[in-house]
Structure 1
Amino acid sequence: MKTKMMITSLLIAFGAFTAQAQKYETVKGDPMQTRIYTLNNGLKVYLSVNKEKPRIQTYIAVRTGSRNDPAETTGLAHYLEHLMFKGTTHFGTSNLKAEAPLLDSIQNRYEVYRTITDPAKRKAWYHKIDSLSQVAAKYNIPNEYDKMMAAIGSEGSNAYTSNDITCYVENIPSNEIDNWAKVQADRFQNMVIRGFHTELEAVYEEYNMGLTQDSRKMYEKLMAGLFPNHPYGTQTTIGLGSHLKNPSIVNIKNYFKRYYVPNNVAICMAGDFDPDQVIAIINKYFGTWKKSENLSRPEYAAPAAITAHKDYTVLGKEAESLYIGWRFPAQRALSSDTLDIIGSLLYNGRAGLLDLDLTQKMKTQEAFAGFEGMNDYSMFLLGGAPLKGQSLENVKALLLAEIEKLKKGEFSDDLLPSVVANYKRDYYNQLESNAFRANQFVDAFINGEDWKTKTEKLDRISKMTKDEIVAFANKYLNDNYVCVFKRLGEDTTIVKVEKPAITPIPTNNDKHSAFLQEIVNSKPQAIQPVFVDFNKDLVKSKTNKGLNLLYKQNTSDDLFTLQFRYPVGSETSPLYGYAGSYLDYLGTNKMTNEQIKQLFYKLACDYSITSGNDETTITLTGLNENMPQALALLEKLINHAKADQETYNNYVATVLKGREDYKKDQRMNFTFLFNYGIYGKYNHSRNVPTESELKSMKPEQLINMLKTLSNSRDAQILYYGPTELKALKKVIAKNYVMSKQPMLKLPTRKYEAQTTPQNEVIIAPFDAKNIYMVQYHNENKTWTPEREAIIDLFNEYFGGGMNAIVFQELREARGLAYSAGARYTRPSRPGDKESFYTQIITQNDKMMDCIKEFNTLLNNTPEREAGFNLAKQSLLKSLASGRTNKFAVLSAYVRAQKLGLNEDLNKKEYEMLPKLELKDVINFAKDNIQNKTYKYLILGNEKELDMKALEKIGTIKRVSTEEVFGY
């Protein structure tokens, strides 16, 4: 039950401010011990204390999204989200009084621009807007918000917009609450729209990137079918291209005034803090924010019932797939509990109906199910992808047949209690994450869920019966669905938003506001760093049979991670990874694959087998009380797996179909091109068995490889869990069938990154409206631990985030890309070398602009003392507030040992950073990136690129898709 409690008044650090006593609500039995405050102005504040590390996850959620966009300017909520980073009346400007009339004039000119239809007149009018924007930009100080977040050591500065929500994200050190609240309160009360046309260009880029994502088209068509007369279905979050071309600052301001009010906002925080102090600080800065006395939103008539299924088709170049969706009431309705559990009964990645009947039996390439809740309605979703030669109609029939099995109750009586047990396990495991906790608050606030109801969900689902599930499915999961087929074909409806002619705005890095300076100069009580001590924070031992064992006890819950690491990977043989994935489809002489899956799920334990370049790992996780049984089951599966030719043939078919699907995906094409460009033809993406090798291979060969590996005397074992070390050794001794012979020393060929002795352009084809591009440099420089601090500081200063030079110059000043960055990399193992690369996704016609600006920055690295100081301050605060704990302690030790280190590298970096100066960063740039030769890796449509300009850069090498993929 809810209780009301009072907190006493307190003094906060900034003098004699006395906080008004604040009432808050709690819910008995809430594992997060949440406090929910409501300030006098209606602002909701959700707080949950988690002392694991001195950091706090913060979300500021506004209960509005694209659902509330004006129909004539869709995409508005999302664009406002971008503009919220541009500053206020107090920061982001060097002269608000001089700037204000210019911004008003720009606003008025956009209103005229929206009415002009003649292309020539639009171009001329936009030139006027651009010219006036240059005058206003003299006073604009871009990125002051990002600089302040860097100054306080915030990580993950971001925001997102969806149907019902716009949410602003920061992860801050626990001693920076006051600074964070001061900035956010100003941002939400005094936002100023500036830098409008360059930020609009970034939104154009985001829109154009989405044109190649067939899943986005599928989702939009599904929503349109389920919600035909509601904004969920009639308008998208990104908005229409025609609306993006005709923005309205007036509409954005009106939207901001209507919805960005305290009684429509929630502050959600989880982490290391004193809630009494936090609420006092929030009240100090947000308490004077005036509430809206007439808060409202557009309301819509309920859509007509769907009485018969409707099929739709979208076209695209990515692999074929389909969605099936049913419409349901809002997420806060209790039907959401049932739908959530039905989703797991059908698909949980292990023992759901779709998992066992379709995925495991390889009747489809892919099959999944899930529930998506929203504020007005929700939907239940099925999805799938076909095998080679299989029709989408057949996949649809198979998916719906599983719904019929559910409706008939044709599933194991153990499945529902197993789903509930795993749901609880996953929930309590996620409570370790501050982001999960805070996101639960966001979810409840946006969807109008009572916190007591939300916290009692575990109790409700624990009481569900199979009969109730079956009855619900029979009542609601019928022919009242919408199906979207995504077929291969040319989408002739795609219209790219063309870039307008804009003049870059100055970054004005020599200027700063008094507000920013106050944040930078503040001196909160410092957080003392805590680094891993490899001699104290873990136990180095050996098993009863002499295997190396790293141990750390979990004293907080009943979860465990047990990992076996073997010193062979794809550089020795690419078949280790295939052996692990093939095992997933097998049973033993005594148990079927289905029985094994069901038993693992019943035990609330999982296993995974992954193979990297030089290491293969077998990992077991779950409830520690079931760890001995799960380990015994895993060992029986590996050592007694029953290979059969039919299963193997089907497995090979799914592998080959997956390879075909990769070639249709833009991002996968670039991933393979990136690896090809860096390593050449021999790289981990291409080092795979050929089709003929796979088909001719005996399945027993894969299983024997895995069996030999898992019994190896060369294993290193890592354990984090509640079991005492002595008892753990007994469990391992009982279940680890160790070979009497050491592993054979098989020949290994390392992946070697190639040097870049001269400029070279490598182009791989992909027909899209944008390109993916990297500039890569490598001159075989050797890394030493002493270089770690300067490398990280350079990355933070030059290319690491929104406050870095690359982002400022390419996105903020010129609007050349939605995202852009650069990174100097260090190796993760001895013998590998340092390297550097830039990366950007941009429109085809902006390619040479991007190359020009990148090379200007590379060859003339700007010297900005203020930016350098912020970069160093940000790194130091992140290192001081970071904590390595739990299983990560063991992983950190393994990584350090691989590099030949005996202490935490973060400790060395923290000690060295204060000694570094701007000249060190500039000298680093001169030595490592300036006037160097680069390999340009470009994925795009050559017909739309300036090839003559590229020819002037270096020799052009054209590679086919088949050469990039190796098959």
Structure 2
Amino acid sequence: AFRLPQAGSKDADLLTLVDKILYNGTAGLIDLNLVQSQKVLRAYSYADILQDYSAHILMADPKEGQKMEDLRDLLLAQLDKIKKGEFPDWLLGAIINNMKLDETKEMENNSSRVFKMVNSFILGEKWEHSVARIARLSQITKQEIIDFVKKNYGDNYVVVYKRTGEDKNVMKVTKPEITPVEVNRDSQSEFVKKVLAMPVKDIEPVFIDFSTDIQQLKIRNTIPMYYTQNKENNTFNLYYVFEMGSNHDRKLNMAINYLKYLGTSLYKPDELKSEFYKLACDFGIYTSTEEVYVSLSGLSDNMEKALQLFESLLADPQPNEEALKNLVSDELKNRADAKLNQDVILWQAMYNYGIYGPKNPFTHILSEAELKALKAQELIAIIKGLNGYEHHVLFYGPQSAEAVAEALTREHKTPATLKPVPEPVKFEELPTGSTAVYVVNYDMKQAEIMMLSRGDVFNKEWSASVRLYNEYFGGGMSSIVFQDLRESKALAYSTFSSFSTPDKKHKHYYNMAYIGTQADKLPEAMKGMNELLNNMPLTEVAFTSAKEAIIQSMRTTRVTRTEILFTYERARRLGLDYDVRKDVYSKVLTMNLEDVKKFQEKNIKGKNYTILVLGDKNAINMKTLELYGTVKVLSLQDIFGY
């Protein structure tokens, strides 16, 4: 990290451009020389521009066996390239175009608009100065940047290495006695009463009409396209959606990750990245257990050129054996790192174990031997074959639907007949027939508890009840769970409960309760959560607040832009052909606390749970856990599958 001058200065503008030359996510020196070339596991930089002074921070994660000092030298070498002027002349213009694109996208969002004003205020900048930032940056020359880096980036940096080891200086604090605080849920301050009494004209809700807000077309009479027009600005978003994922092919994730390091017969990998950046467009591929999203976005003026580039990559990826070797090595390093990450252990590995058992989507991956046996050509074949499967298209942009369909008919390379997606490996959501407790031993001072209980399959008639119950009982800082366990009794540093809706119509609801607490508070915390789940406190004031929060949220929320298309996608997967929020709003208006009580008694009270506990088993009271059900200690290999 380097310390540099404050916001509002010419140096802060120069810092902004230096950072983008180093790292812009696509064509910066760090992007191409370190990440794309696989010299590090991860690397990036960012400029922290503040009122007193600014900081330029460069970060990298090591590959297996790589020294921290080597990472430092690789990062500093990118700064040396700037000092020597070793970055392309076109890059500055491309940075400005991409910053204009980013600002256009940011200004679509109310929070971003407000933050821009807040940031201008707290940095002490005049508003005119803030809004003219890109215009100023566009006037800065390459030589000014070279001179700035030579002057400000020498040996004047701080370097921090995070190493594995034991902290010998840990201080222990005696556990204090906690006196519960009485939660005054039914009282209101005079100030709150005054605010609530202010006259406010209600805003009427607006719901999506899929028949008018989305236009449906066909590409070559075979590929469905769902289209919503962008009437705000000159940007577009294009998605190819395949209803297949790692459950259908375990090699798919590796093929998708491999694509990022490939070029075509016309462009080397770094050249391809640069070409996209010049166009102020970007592509991405997201894969999950059941879906693949292939995306392209950017300035609509350049959409067709970007589409041609992207389609050429999908149709003509060139194998790179060295890149595959590095990819496999990095994947194994990532897997080892995942076993050290509390969030991955609990929210991915243990969660999937709790839902499906030892054979589940999280463990449905290639073994180390299978990874090392992968051949470049078989991954290339998967990439080339992707467009040959049935899929549909989502598009949001200023172009007419007909113009988009024509462009895709010309450029989207598919065979005359599309193959149906392969059958997936099916994983059954296990019934919660009895309460079982699974403990994973992990060296930590805290304990994290997740409780899962399978409910019925999706029922659209429950949508309003689920929303109101979650808001009232476990959804936020004013919910029953948070107020009781954290605010009143100080039994948790984080806690919530949610009755979660499935993403597909054949899947089940799940009631989840979470507590993050100190290991020595686990008995009281679990007792407290169970009492709340089985005997939900009833308070009209909290219920009225929860009900009003939902009503006001639905009145003021507007589903716009690409979210219209994704709302349709979510509805379709649940077997719905309309915006279900309409049902939620109309029903919540007439619901009362008794309705929430009945829902809780039917779906939550007295249910069995799969209880997942992450913590140091020597610090956890195992006798307490045995009160809830049979306790089984799992290893990391049990839950990760490797």
What TM-score range do you get, normalising by the shorter chain? over 0.9
* 1-structure distance, mates of 2:140, 2:172: 49
1:957 aligns to what? 632
Contact 2:458 2:506 in 1 (8 A): no
SS of aligned partner of 2:161: strand
- What displacement does 1:497 show? 5.0
* 1-structure distance, mates of 2:464, 2:494: 25
- What displacement does 1:639 show? 0.7
Alignment of 1:784-799 (within 5 A): 784-799=459-474
2:403 aligns to what? 727
The counterpart of 1:684, out of the listed 361, 370, 373, is 361
- What displacement does 1:686 show? 1.8
Distance change (3 Å), C-alpha of 1:495 and 1:446: farther
The counterpart of 1:915, out of the listed 574, 587, 590, is 590
* 1-structure distance, mates of 2:180, 2:68: 48
* 1-structure distance, mates of 2:501, 2:327: 37
1:833 aligns to what? 508
Contact 1:496 1:769 in 2 (8 A): no
Distance change (3 Å), C-alpha of 1:791 and 1:498: farther
The counterpart of 1:857, out of the listed 525, 532, 545, is 532
1:764 aligns with 2:440: yes
SS of aligned partner of 2:396: strand
* 1-structure distance, mates of 2:194, 2:426: 52
- What displacement does 1:767 show? 0.9
* 2-structure distance, mates of 1:409, 1:684: 48
- What displacement does 1:496 show? 5.3
Distance change (3 Å), C-alpha of 1:426 and 1:775: same
Contact 2:186 2:542 in 1 (8 A): no
1:243 aligns to what? none
Which TM-score applies when normalising by structure 2? Answer: 0.97
Distance change (3 Å), C-alpha of 1:448 and 1:470: same
% identical aligned pairs? 36
The counterpart of 2:142, out of the listed 455, 460, 466, is 466
- What displacement does 1:514 show? 4.6
Q: Deviations over 1:655-714 (max 9, x none)?
A: 1111111112222222222222222223332221111111101122122112211233x2
1:598 aligns with 2:274: yes
- What displacement does 1:439 show? 1.3
* 1-structure distance, mates of 2:213, 2:632: 51
- What displacement does 1:545 show? 4.2
Distance change (3 Å), C-alpha of 1:844 and 1:411: same
* 2-structure distance, mates of 1:418, 1:498: 58
* 1-structure distance, mates of 2:608, 2:9: 60
Q: Deviations over 1:431-470 (max 9, x none)?
A: 1111112112222222222222222111111111111111
SS of aligned partner of 1:674: helix
1:128 aligns to what? none
Alignment of 1:461-610 (within 5 A): 461-495=137-171, 498-520=174-196, 522-610=198-286
Contact 2:243 2:421 in 1 (8 A): no
- What displacement does 1:520 show? 4.2
- What displacement does 1:420 show? 1.4
- What displacement does 1:495 show? 3.2
Distance change (3 Å), C-alpha of 1:409 and 1:566: same
* 2-structure distance, mates of 1:630, 1:796: 44
Give the aligned residue type for 1:681.
Answer: P
1:873 aligns to what? 548
The counterpart of 1:384, out of the listed 34, 47, 60, is 60
1:665 aligns with 2:341: yes
2:379 aligns to what? 702
Give the aligned residue type for 2:311.
Answer: E
Q: Deviations over 1:747-801 (max 9, x none)?
A: 212333222211111111221121221111114x122111000010000110011
Q: Deviations over 1:704-746 (max 9, x none)?
A: 112211233x221111001112211121011111112321542
* 2-structure distance, mates of 1:752, 1:601: 44
- What displacement does 1:516 show? 3.5
* 2-structure distance, mates of 1:573, 1:349: 29
Query: Bigger radius of gyration, 1 or 2?
Result: 1
Which ranges of structure 1 fall in alignment gaps of 5 or more residues?
1-324
* 1-structure distance, mates of 2:539, 2:420: 56
Q: Which moved more, 1:929-938 or 1:570-579?
A: 570-579
SS of aligned partner of 2:213: coil
Alignment of 1:47-58 (within 5 A): none
Contact 1:752 1:832 in 2 (8 A): no
Which TM-score applies when normalising by structure 1? Answer: 0.65
Which ranges of structure 2 fall in alignment gaps of 5 or more residues?
none
* 1-structure distance, mates of 2:8, 2:427: 52
SS of aligned partner of 2:171: coil
Q: Deviations over 1:815-851 (max 9, x none)?
A: 1222211000111112101110111211111111110
Contact 1:545 1:733 in 2 (8 A): no
Alignment of 1:286-685 (within 5 A): 325-495=1-171, 498-520=174-196, 522-671=198-347, 672-685=349-362
* 2-structure distance, mates of 1:479, 1:930: 63
- What displacement does 1:518 show? 4.5
Distance change (3 Å), C-alpha of 1:354 and 1:496: farther
Contact 1:868 1:918 in 2 (8 A): yes
Q: Deviations over 1:394-448 (max 9, x none)?
A: 1111111111111111111121211111111101110111111211222222222
Q: Deviations over 1:218-254 (max 9, x none)?
A: xxxxxxxxxxxxxxxxxxxxxxxxxxxxxxxxxxxxx
- Please provide the CA RMSD for this pair: 1.5
SS of aligned partner of 1:564: strand
2:388 aligns to what? 711
Q: Deviations over 1:606-661 (max 9, x none)?
A: 11111122211101010000000111100101110001222111111111111111
